[in-house]
Chain A
Amino acid sequence: MYDFAYHKPASVADAVKILAADPDARPISGGMTLLPALKLRLNKPTAVVDLSGIAELRGVKRDGDSLVIGALTRHYEVATSAEVKASIPTLAAMAATIGDTQVRNRGTIGGSVANNDPSADYPAALLALGATIQTDKRKLAAEDFFTGMFTTALDVGELVTAIHIPIPKKAGYAKMRNPASRYSMAGVFVAQTASGVRVAVNGAGANGVFREKAMEAALAANWSADAVAGVKVDAGLLNGDIHGSAEYRAHLVTVMAKRAVVDAG
């Protein structure tokens, strides 16, 4: 990696101040994406602002009908949280499938959300659950936050601080892993929420995570695997690579949607 300055602020305010003063500084949470990029010299920040010293950003709590998960909460903590397992068990189960043991003990929900990797698990979960992403200066609905592949509504220097997730009536998730990377090649998160049935897809969209409205309508009318089985996904909106063409991914989205509904029960 190239040389960079290193900061470890103890508060969100201090972190934001450092980032505001240097637009080429990069925040680092678990570092599961940024560190490999630095090692490969694909990224050359002037400074790295290590958020791991900000204790207030870590932990899971229940707030009325919502779960509030601090941005620095690690995947392992979500996977094993009694609160998450009790209220949104499929979210805990999903967190347990992210990366491997080492990744789950380093990677954080805030880092995953801010990175918005199209193959990451959390963006689909938050989009389907109708979550709100809280930053150091505002609150954004998930559909307003995730704006495209590796892009979000975050301004330069703006930090995700917490995720608010309304507890759904039921939710389910299924994904087909890329055989090599084991990231999602087509993952579908389904939820019955207070605002209706929501279905979000990761791994497949040419523009990142997206809601599959036709499936939402089908499931609203009839919550069953058979209901989504007949919904054909438009391959023209999907991406393809050596592991999966857009046509294959379109098929997989339907298969995973069926399995997600079964998972939700």
Chain B
Amino acid sequence: MNVVTPFEGIGASLRRKEDFRFLQGRGQYTDDINRPGQTHAVMLRSPHAHATIDRIDTAAARAMPGVKAIFTGPDMAAESIGGIPCGWQIHNKDGSPMAEPMHPALALGKVRHVGDPVAVVIAETRSQARDAAEAIVVDYTPLPAVSGTEAALAPGAPQLHEGAPGNLCYDWHIGDKAAQEAAFARAARVVKFETTNNRLVPNAMEPRVAIGDFDSFSGDYTLYTTSQNPHVIRLLMGAFVLHIPESKLRVVAPDVGGGFGSKIYHYAEEAIVTWAAGKVKRPVKWTCERSESFVSDAHGRDHVSTAELALDEQGKILGLKVHTLANMGAYLSTFAPCVPTYLYATLLSGVYSTPVIYAEVKAVFTNTVPVDAYRGAGRPEATYLLERLMDVAAAEAGIDKVEFRRRNFIRPDQFPYQTPVALQYDSGNYHATLDACLETAGWAGFEARRAEAKARGKLRGIGISTYVEACGIAPSAVVGSLGARAGLYEVGVIRVHPTGSVTVLTGAHSHGQGHETTFAQLVAEKLGVPTANVDIVHGDTAKVPFGMGTYGSRSLAVGGSAMDKAMDKIIAKGKRIAAHLMEASVEDIEFERGTFRVAGTDKTKSLTDISLAAYVPHNYPIEEIEPGLEETAFYDPKNFTYPGGCHICEVEIDPDTGHVEVVNFTAVDDVGRVINPMIVEGQVQGGVAQGIGQALLEAAIYDPSGQLISGSFMDYTMPRAGDLPDVGVATHTTLCTHNPLGVKGCGEVGAIGSPPAVMNAVVDALRDYGVRHVEMPATPQKIWGIVNAHRLAAE
């Protein structure tokens, strides 16, 4: 009999089931997999940012010990292997499609960024493959390169692709330009603000790995890969690159050690090892090294923006105009085009009742690693631009920054709220999250802390960010109309076994989020099965029906909703079986947490009684119902979900060194219904850590010739424990109105809300230095430069 403690259901801070194996080193990651007869692949990569390949001589390398095969771009092209596809098509202002240049898995005649793969060596050992890769002779003719976003559009800039004149990928816009111009014409004040959103390297703890396997008897291919969405990889790679029917291709993404977006995309190495396994008739394993990941994993962010905000006399926002340049890198990564458009410009209304918005976005190709979604994807860029602009505008209008925000908030009674940039927010209470955060952070008492810090020689500042984001992606028809080449529903299967334990199959993929616990809690809550008896299966296309994976904080809102729908079907069928067994009418059967009851009586049947009857149908309404107790549901959301909230940051600056320390951080987020508060707290803290990283530490820096200067942890500043405060996390819930669980999503809010809070605090700390803006990251050198310039000016 199943007995449920109520503490395992929704709202319980259950310890993560999966941590038992992770903390003991028993996780099964892709690199832990070794196939019988496995060979090893090493990629030879371009040292040049831009060059023609005049000749590749592999003769000496082929003769080296252990070498099984060496392949180059022309070898793949000779077998009609397709380019790496892009999953989203943006249209230009004039309605024409974006430039979408061919992205060969292995370079064809030209390399376009440092790290562009040129050849693959397959050998008995990894060391032999490396030796042979060093023996390949490639004659390059270096070409002028361009790495900067603005520089790529300049007249005379080096050109990357024949099909993309001027290096322009697209020139897109959203909103009503005429209305925006009219609003600006009657404004009392227009505040202009320019900023760059720094390029980031995701750096998941686990580097990417791919193993291709080919069964020459069945003709089946298997790819083991570090992916957030194995079905998407199977679809893209099978249909567009390798032309393998999905029935002959299995993709497995086992335990994955962090993704943050960088493991959404279909990467060339996945196609290369799968194809090569078929060529050499042996499994082929590739494990990315850390320095290799810096030049081959998709990067994040990299925008240059100008924003103008029009205000009336009372400080009410009349309109917003934004112009953004977005760096796509050398090729279009899987979802790159949608990040600076539909995941960015649609969020420019923020939490404010801005009546008109017009935004135009140009995406450009440069000789850099492709840029794609990174935790938050577009929404951090929008939030940073808007929340820095709000502080600048408040200061210039002479209005308190909190009051200025409050004055322009969307009020609770305005939901559902239609923004001028396509989205309709279903629920939220921005006043409530603001008030709670101000209270928790001790906003009112800050000046005393500033004075105390000053007595110690430190410059203390406080910063606020009030934000909303759009996640739980997404209604398939909506994104389809916006250029997505995929649906964005999710699938859930609830398999109740004969003795009452449950296996859940989900298309969502866990790579640190704690799905095995949160999803089990949904089952405990609804079906009354103890979480110990609920197993979550994900990450294998041979086991799970076609699902879309995990990104955009969608697993619970979309994947969880699919499970909920499937559980509804289980309950409905269970009621019919229970009605038969208890000789009652099905309308009289009630179900609550594992027990079927004839209403108003003490006649009950447990879920286990029902499941046993379903699989051993001796006494069973076999004429009316099929045996078994397993249900599948596909859930396509009706809208995005809209988590939001308030982040407040306090920093102290050492004016002697320029070092910025985050001394307090408070987050009050509305993530909808909270299933596991401990997991939500961890997700918010992790997101805030990445937000602080972007604000103060991290920067992928290319020199003008396209060499990545910050290409290792010696120069790329990853956040460490000592850089981070103990982040105070609280939630304030308004329910999502359109999914059955009322959930919104919590995976990205930390990275979205926090960077402007940090930077607003930095600027506030420097208020006596006449500083209007500081670009991210606020490194010690940059801050000292500001302090020193001020000192020199005073002398």
Identify which of residues 637-656 in chain B touch chain A, using a CB-to-CB cut-off of 8 Å.
Answer: 656
A176-B780, A179-B780, A243-B781 are known contacts. Are A255 and B715 too (CB-CB below 8 A)?
Answer: no
Residues of chain B contacted by A242 (CB below 8 angstroms):
701, 709-710, 715
How far, in angstroms, from A159 to B639 measured CA to CA in the complex?
70
How far, in angstroms, from A244 to B659 measured CA to CA in the complex?
12
Closest beta carbon of chain B to A136's beta carbon, Å: 32
How far, in angstroms, from A176 to B659 measured CA to CA in the complex?
9
In the complex, are the beta carbons of B657 and A176 less than 8 A apart?
A: yes
Closest beta carbon of chain A to B712's beta carbon, Å: 9
Taking a contact as CB atoms closer than 8 A, the residue among A40, A179, A251 that contacts B779 in the complex is A179
In the complex, are the beta carbons of B785 and A181 less than 8 A apart?
A: no
Taking a contact as CB atoms closer than 8 A, the residue among A176, A180, A251, A252 that contacts B715 in the complex is A180
Question: Interface residues of B toward A: which range?
Answer: 20 to 34
Q: Does chain A have a CB within 8 A of B240?
A: no
Residues of chain A contacted by B415 (CB below 8 angstroms):
none
Residues of chain A contacted by B291 (CB below 8 angstroms):
40
Q: Does chain B have a CB within 8 A of A41?
A: yes
How far, in angstroms, from A251 to B780 measured CA to CA in the complex?
12
How far, in angstroms, from A174 to B779 measured CA to CA in the complex?
19
Closest beta carbon of chain A to B38's beta carbon, Å: 21
How far, in angstroms, from A243 to B785 measured CA to CA in the complex?
12
Residues of chain A contacted by B656 (CB below 8 angstroms):
255
Closest beta carbon of chain B to A254's beta carbon, Å: 9
Q: Does chain A have a CB within 8 A of B716?
A: yes
Q: Does chain A have a CB within 8 A of B249?
A: no
In the complex, are the beta carbons of A181 and B713 less than 8 A apart?
A: yes
Q: Does chain A have a CB within 8 A of B362?
A: no
**Can you name the residue of chain A whose Cβ is closest to the Cβ of B722?**
A182
How far, in angstroms, from A244 to B779 measured CA to CA in the complex?
10
In the complex, are the beta carbons of B717 and A180 less than 8 A apart?
A: yes
Q: Does chain A have a CB within 8 A of B667?
A: no
Identify which of residues 221-265 in chain A touch chain B, using a CB-to-CB cut-off of 8 Å.
Answer: 241-245, 248, 251-252, 255
Q: Does chain A have a CB within 8 A of B697?
A: yes
Closest beta carbon of chain A to B632's beta carbon, Å: 48
Interface of B is mostly: loop
Closest beta carbon of chain A to B716's beta carbon, Å: 6
CB-CB contacts of B766-795 with A at 8 A, as 1s and 0s? 000000000000011100110010000000
In the complex, are the beta carbons of A243 and B779 less than 8 A apart?
A: yes
How far, in angstroms, from A173 to B713 measured CA to CA in the complex?
26
Residues of chain B contacted by A180 (CB below 8 angstroms):
697, 710, 713-718
Taking a contact as CB atoms closer than 8 A, the residue among B657, B701, B713 that contacts A255 in the complex is B657
How far, in angstroms, from A224 to B463 measured CA to CA in the complex?
38
Residues of chain A contacted by B716 (CB below 8 angstroms):
180
In the complex, are the beta carbons of B713 and A248 less than 8 A apart?
A: no
Residues of chain B contacted by A41 (CB below 8 angstroms):
130, 134
Residues of chain A contacted by B717 (CB below 8 angstroms):
179-180
**Can you name the residue of chain A whose Cβ is closest to the Cβ of B788?**
A251
Closest beta carbon of chain B to A100's beta carbon, Å: 9
In the complex, are the beta carbons of B657 and A243 less than 8 A apart?
A: no
How far, in angstroms, from A41 to B129 measured CA to CA in the complex?
14
A243-B781, A248-B781, A248-B785 are known contacts. Are A179 and B697 too (CB-CB below 8 A)?
Answer: yes
For the complex, count residues of A whose C-beta is within 8 A of B: 16
A242-B710, A245-B781, A248-B781 are known contacts. Are A181 and B657 too (CB-CB below 8 A)?
Answer: no
CB-CB contacts of A86-124 with B at 8 A, as 1s and 0s? 000000000000000000000000000000000000000
Closest beta carbon of chain B to A203's beta carbon, Å: 13
Residues of chain A contacted by B780 (CB below 8 angstroms):
176, 179, 244
How far, in angstroms, from A80 to B443 measured CA to CA in the complex?
43
Residues of chain A contacted by B701 (CB below 8 angstroms):
242
Residues of chain A contacted by B785 (CB below 8 angstroms):
248
Residues of chain A contacted by B779 (CB below 8 angstroms):
179, 243
Residues of chain A contacted by B714 (CB below 8 angstroms):
180-181
Closest beta carbon of chain B to A36's beta carbon, Å: 10
Closest beta carbon of chain B to A81's beta carbon, Å: 25
Closest beta carbon of chain A to B750's beta carbon, Å: 21
How far, in angstroms, from A176 to B130 measured CA to CA in the complex?
38
Residues of chain A contacted by B697 (CB below 8 angstroms):
179-180
How far, in angstroms, from A251 to B791 measured CA to CA in the complex?
13
How far, in angstroms, from A177 to B476 measured CA to CA in the complex?
49
In the complex, are the beta carbons of B784 and A251 less than 8 A apart?
A: yes
In the complex, are the beta carbons of A252 and B657 less than 8 A apart?
A: yes
How far, in angstroms, from A138 to B659 measured CA to CA in the complex?
44
How far, in angstroms, from A41 to B718 measured CA to CA in the complex?
24
How far, in angstroms, from A176 to B134 measured CA to CA in the complex?
39
In the complex, are the beta carbons of B709 and A248 less than 8 A apart?
A: no
How far, in angstroms, from A255 to B130 measured CA to CA in the complex?
47
How far, in angstroms, from A179 to B784 measured CA to CA in the complex?
14
Closest beta carbon of chain B to A122's beta carbon, Å: 19
How far, in angstroms, from A2 to B715 measured CA to CA in the complex?
26
Residues of chain A contacted by B710 (CB below 8 angstroms):
180, 242
For B657, B709, B714, B781, the residue with the greatest tally of chain A CB atoms inside 10 Å of its CB is: B781
How far, in angstroms, from A252 to B787 measured CA to CA in the complex?
13
Closest beta carbon of chain A to B79's beta carbon, Å: 32
Closest beta carbon of chain A to B568's beta carbon, Å: 52
Residues of chain B contacted by A241 (CB below 8 angstroms):
715
Residues of chain A contacted by B713 (CB below 8 angstroms):
180-181
Residues of chain B contacted by A179 (CB below 8 angstroms):
697, 717, 779-780
CB-CB contacts of B712-751 with A at 8 A, as 1s and 0s? 0111111000000000000000000000000000000000
For A180, A243, A252, the residue with the greatest tally of chain B CB atoms inside 10 Å of its CB is: A180
Residues of chain A contacted by B718 (CB below 8 angstroms):
180
**Can you name the residue of chain B whose Cβ is closest to the Cβ of A245?**
B781
CB-CB contacts of B686-718 with A at 8 A, as 1s and 0s? 000000000001000100000001100111111
In the complex, are the beta carbons of B715 and A244 less than 8 A apart?
A: no
How far, in angstroms, from A45 to B715 measured CA to CA in the complex?
27
A180-B713, A251-B788 are known contacts. Are A244 and B130 too (CB-CB below 8 A)?
Answer: no
How far, in angstroms, from A42 to B715 measured CA to CA in the complex?
18
How far, in angstroms, from A137 to B720 measured CA to CA in the complex?
44
**Can you name the residue of chain A whose Cβ is closest to the Cβ of B718?**
A180
Residues of chain A contacted by B131 (CB below 8 angstroms):
2
* Chain A residues packing against B (C-beta within 8 Å): 2, 40-41, 176, 179-181, 241-245, 248, 251-252, 255
New A-B pairs, 14, CB < 8 Å, besides A179-B697, A180-B714: A176-B657, A179-B779, A180-B713, A180-B715, A180-B718, A181-B713, A181-B715, A241-B715, A242-B701, A242-B715, A243-B715, A244-B780, A248-B784, A255-B656
* Chain B residues packing against A (C-beta within 8 Å): 130-131, 134, 291, 656-659, 697, 701, 709-710, 713-718, 779-781, 784-785, 788
A–B Cβ pairs within 8 angstroms, 18 of them: A2-B131, A41-B134, A176-B659, A176-B780, A179-B717, A180-B713, A180-B714, A180-B717, A181-B713, A241-B715, A242-B710, A242-B715, A243-B715, A248-B658, A248-B781, A251-B788, A252-B657, A255-B656
4 closest residue pairs by CB, A with B: A180-B717, A181-B714, A179-B717, A255-B656
